[in-house]
Chains A and B, each alone.
Chain A
Amino acid sequence: MEWLSILTTIIHNAVIYATPLIFAALGGVFSERSGVVNIGLEGLMIIGAFASAVVTLWTESPFLGLIAGALAGVLLSLLHAVASVTFRAHQVVNGMAINFLALGLAIYLTKQLFSGSAQTTTLKTLIPKWDIPWLSEIPYLGPMFFKTYPTSYFAVLVVILCGYLLYKTSFGLRLRAVGEHPAAADTMGVHVGRMRYTGVLISGALAGLGGAIITLTTTSNFSYSTISGQGYIALAAVIFGKWNPYGVLGAALFFGCVQALNSSAQVLGFSAYIPTAFIQMLPYLLTIIVLAGFVGKAEGPKASGEPYIKGSR
């Protein structure tokens, strides 16, 4: 069964590609659910990828690298929160500022730390893959899902956790209320600003983690091109997944699949029949077709993007 083993490889890769997207897109969900548009996901991933590379080089611990990535994301997202919530800035505009700042700052610091080079040295310690006992021995399914990086298992746990947090706790209810109708939430005694800060900072942690995972599982160093558009794809996954953690999981897996298909096109020998360019285009074409055909109208949280001014209607 040749095609089955090909499929195994593709799914295996899809899970790896999807993992950082899941984290970053979940971050987007928290921010937007609280009413703050965050198109700075790309920048948050960049700063996370950078911080994790540097800290892992220093400490030789990828685990500390992950934590550093998340913390760096939190710090940068603090700037977004201050602008969006405290100064009632235009959130899309400021999101662009975050993206510019992250790339500029990360490369600037890289040049400082690595004697003028625009990329870090290659990491020696990366996250190793974990085989789950028993499950990894299931034919086909094992190699697809249970012989991968621990971060991927963690991603699924985090999705479930986020789903619980958003829909089954009073914190989640408040967060969503603040994003849908801040004035009503305010009347009920919910501190709108504090909830929005929380949402944005969580998004920073998750997106930073996503960036760190790319460094620590895929690229093994940080450079200009480590994060090249994944943040925007994550943004697409937020909308595609309809601002819901489980939807986001599905969307990220979908984007992971198309990317995996893409990267194995040459190995599979499709390229003998169709120009590679068209196979490379496929993920993006498919995304458009799927969105146009199946998902339909995407409606975000109602107050997303609107600064809240107390007492205004």
Chain B
Amino acid sequence: MNFNMKKHNIGVPFVSIILAMLVGAVAMLLAGYNPVSAYASFFDGIFSSPYLMGETIRQVTPLIFTGLAVAFAFRTGLFNIGAEGQFLVGQLAAVAVGIFFKLPFFLHIPLAILAAAIAGGLWGAIPGYLKAKRGVHEVITTIMMNWIAFILTNYLIRTYMKAESERSMDIQPTASISFEWLSDLFQGARIHLGIVIALLFAFLMYFLLWRTKQGFELRAVGSNSLAAKYAGMNVKRNIIKAMFISGALAGLGGASEGLGVYGYMTISSVFPGVGYDGIAVALIGSNTSIGVILGAILFGALTFGAQNMQMASDVPYEIIRIVIAFIIFFIASSDIAKSILGLLRKIPLRSRKGGA
């Protein structure tokens, strides 16, 4: 199966978003809500104040990481459903280093982040190894690894680092990537340095994939593994490498969340969901770095704005899940959007300008 998306022009995602919002409006009308005021309160909830913008960025940050993770694996022809688990072990590793090490900040932060990348990377490399050496389908193993990560991290927090409530102890202040001056800039929103790290890694992923020989090999394995093998590339090693890097990216997302937003890790009864959302982000962004950033912004803004919409106009939060689903649907079925774009182009320019 080839995961590389057809190249589509910038119009397709745009038309898809509009179509999906129309579907959402119909769903609201059918349930007796006013879609216009609902969407208005929705946009209010994202942009109307620096605080809300900061919180939206906080929501977007982990999605960039998991989106990059999934996109990177897709590029190598692998479907990493395991970003969820890699995110969790990454967060645990970062928080553990944050709690138990006593270091100056310029060593502490990098160490905690590195630990997260390695933990997430190894968590991804196991399915990679099993795929390369034993031919086990990565879709199954990554799903299983998610559950193992979920149970294991809860167990480790409970046994070795539990605070009084259902969460880990707080990390040392030297490991925190949340800075007061940055928060103050956004009226106390929980925005943190993670967004900078996310953008940095988005660039690094682009650079690795498109500007290095290693990246060429990874992409070659992804688009045609037989041809890659014939050209003398080590397909198996590239699969393991790709899954390690993919897992590391998701793990970094965990670190960003643990060190930036909370400063601890909760014992959770449900999956955080960012790993699964990362799949959608990668797909919306056609597996490119810039696309993932835009996809994460879209996705994070939609999710965050929906919470405000529920409070302000009583429309259930889930309406946005429906809108997101249809965005993905229309992007997947890009022929629909393309034919609409085609129709628009057929309208003569004169009548578009109002018949002047």
Contacts and interface: CB of A to CB of B under 8 A. Distances in A.
Interface of A: 37, 39, 79, 82-83, 87-90, 92-94, 96-98, 100-101, 103-105, 107-108, 111-112, 225, 229, 232-233, 235-236, 239-240, 275, 277-278, 280-281, 283-285, 287-288, 291-292, 295-298, 304-306
Contact of B139 (A82, A112, A235, A297): A235
B49 to A, nearest CB: 27
B1 A88 contact: no
9 contacts: A96-B280, A96-B283, A97-B329, A100-B328, A235-B140, A284-B144, A288-B144, A291-B141, A292-B136
Contact of A277 (B134, B145, B154): B154
Contact of A280 (B151, B318, B329): B151
Nearest to B4: A90
A277 B1 contact: no
A94 B329 contact: yes
A285 B148 contact: yes
* 3 smallest beta-carbon distances between A and B, as pairs: A104-B321, A297-B135, A101-B325
Nearest to A42: B276
B161 interface: no
Contacts of A284: 144-145, 147-148
Nearest to A105: B322
Interface stretch (B113-121, B201-209, B330-338): B330-338
Contact of B333 (A83, A278, A287): A83
Max chain B Cβ within 10 angstroms of own Cβ: one of A89, A90, A296:
A90
Interface string B317-328: 011111011101
B319 A104 contact: yes
A100 B321 contact: yes
B233 interface: no
Nearest to A304: B1
Contacts of A103: 318, 321
A81 B151 CA distance: 36
B interface, size bucket? 35 or more
A108 B318 contact: yes
Contact of B325 (A104, A285, A297, A298): A104
B322 A225 contact: no
B302 to A, nearest CB: 11
A107 B321 CA distance: 10
B335 A88 contact: yes
A176 to B, nearest CB: 18
B1 A92 contact: yes
Nearest to A95: B332
A89 B135 CA distance: 27
Contacts of A240: 140
Contacts of A97: 325-326, 328-329, 332
Nearest to A37: B1
B146 to A, nearest CB: 8
Max chain B Cβ within 10 angstroms of own Cβ: one of A94, A97, A277:
A97
Contacts of B294: none
Given A93-B283, A288-B145, 6 more contacts: A88-B333, A89-B333, A111-B316, A111-B318, A284-B144, A291-B137
B279 interface: yes
A104 B335 contact: no
Contacts of A111: 316, 318
B318 A104 contact: yes
B325 A291 contact: no
